[in-house]
A and B are shown apart, each in its own frame.
Chain A
Amino acid sequence: MTCDEVRELLPEHLLGTLEGPEDLEVRRHLRGCSACREERMKLEEGVAALSLVVHDQEPPADLRDRVLRTLDEEWEDAGRPPASKQRGRDRSPWRAVAAAAAIVLIAGSVAFGTTQAHRASVATADAASYTNLLRALGGKEFSVGQLHAAGGSSFVGQVLVYEGDASKGWNSWATVFVKAPGYMGDATATLIGTDGEALALPSLRVSGGEAHSWIVTGDDLSGYDRLTITTPDGNVVATGAIHPA
């Protein structure tokens, strides 16, 4: 197909009304022709302009919740706990705030790229303080892990897991910090359980070579003993074992 033939078909291709074999030919041509791809881009901008000007209207305020609830149901039916439930069932707002504050306090003591002797928990050098901290937080145990680069990546980091005492109504939480010099974009940190179960944390958005992510949940995190970091294309860029602090 020539460029002229393709450009004549581009509007239909864009609007999805082109039949199978012709559409395939157009797509094949576009893969190898930057000029026609640029033409398509301009037409796409025309569609975007049309949509913004002609039919951009604020939906009702409750529509967002309705759509996200529907997606939650869809995800549940698809066989895995939906992301919104993975973020925990806070039984009490102030406990979630306290847990988050504890994350900030303890995370403030974490130094990146230091020796393995530097533990993620600030109280490990002082057993009494550690016990007091756990008692204050109502928790059972801290676990920590050092993340090591994999596959030639620049990713390193640390993971800290706090196991709350569910009998007292406390959530558990996990937080991960990474340094990835030279990398820009997203990555996913996933806790891996001894039984192979996986729990993904919210996206790591690496900017300026650093990123962090955390999760607060009512679920038991004690069964997770590894954490991996993967990029959107599925490559594992860091991994680490998690062990009690």
Chain B
Amino acid sequence: MLRVKIEDPGSDAALMVAFAAREERAAGTLFERFASRIYGLGVVMLGNHQAAQDLVQDTFVKLWRTAERYDPQRGRLETWVLLTARSLAIDSLRRRVLESRSLQAVGIQPEDDPAPLPDERAAAADLSARARRAMACLSPEQRSALELAYFGGRTTAEVAALEGIPQGTVKTRIRAALLRLRDEMAKDADHDV
């Protein structure tokens, strides 16, 4: 059953110090801990495995270049890594939109993204199914706000505009959604004991 593991912040700080010092072992540890989630995020947000692999590579390079900025007092390493990856994925999505618009502006039809292979479609479908099951514990409103903010990279103001609701309501829904997911996972963990 799924558990959300709390890593020791002291050891995470030491891990990042070692990574910043170019220790291959530290790089390997970070890869083992986070690559699967970064890769999965790439599949969900960018839609294909090649882009997801590129996202993993780009994320690790960025993590190293910014390693000295990591401060355990400001949040967990997990969050920092995931949001770095998410930020890069959002940049990638925005570039695609801009490139598409630029090409269309000069009358060139942008090339379609390479069609996903059958196994890619299956993997994406599996992730979608898992997403739906996880999100099933949320209300539709909470789910929508969280998806737009987390996967879509929208600010609460943008989500509010898209959904036609007050910004304060969006903030409340996102907060409630995250806390609900956390509580659901904690409940599952308790049942395992």
Enumerate chain A interface residues (CB-CB to B < 8 A). Answer: 7-12, 14-17, 27, 30-31, 40-60, 63-64, 66-68, 70-72, 74-75, 80, 82-84, 87, 185-186, 188, 200, 202-203, 232
28 interchain pairs, CB-CB under 8 A: A10-B175, A11-B149, A14-B178, A31-B73, A40-B75, A41-B76, A43-B175, A43-B182, A44-B76, A46-B182, A50-B146, A51-B82, A52-B37, A53-B185, A54-B127, A55-B131, A59-B39, A63-B35, A63-B57, A66-B57, A67-B31, A71-B27, A71-B60, A74-B64, A83-B27, A87-B24, A185-B11, A186-B18
Count the A-B residue pairs with Cβ separation under 8 angstroms: how many? Answer: 198
Provide the main secondary structure of the chain B interface.
Answer: helix
On whether the beta carbons of B83 and A203 are closer than 8 Å, the reply is: no
Contact for B184 among A7, A42, A49, CB less than 8 A = A49
On whether the beta carbons of B123 and A57 are closer than 8 Å, the reply is: yes
On whether the beta carbons of A56 and B56 are closer than 8 Å, the reply is: no
Is B98 in contact with chain A by the CB < 8 A criterion?
A: no
Q: How far is the CB of A80 from chain B (nearest CB, A)?
A: 7
Q: How far is the CB of A49 from chain B (nearest CB, A)?
A: 4
Contact for A63 among B53, B127, B178, CB less than 8 A = B53
Among the stretches B40-48, B100-108, B110-118, the one at the interface with A is: B40-48
On whether the beta carbons of A51 and B37 are closer than 8 Å, the reply is: yes
Asked, given contacts A8-B168, A40-B75, A57-B40, whether A49 binds B181 with beta carbons under 8 Å apart, the answer is yes
Asked, given contacts A59-B52, A71-B27, A203-B18, whether A14 binds B79 with beta carbons under 8 Å apart, the answer is yes
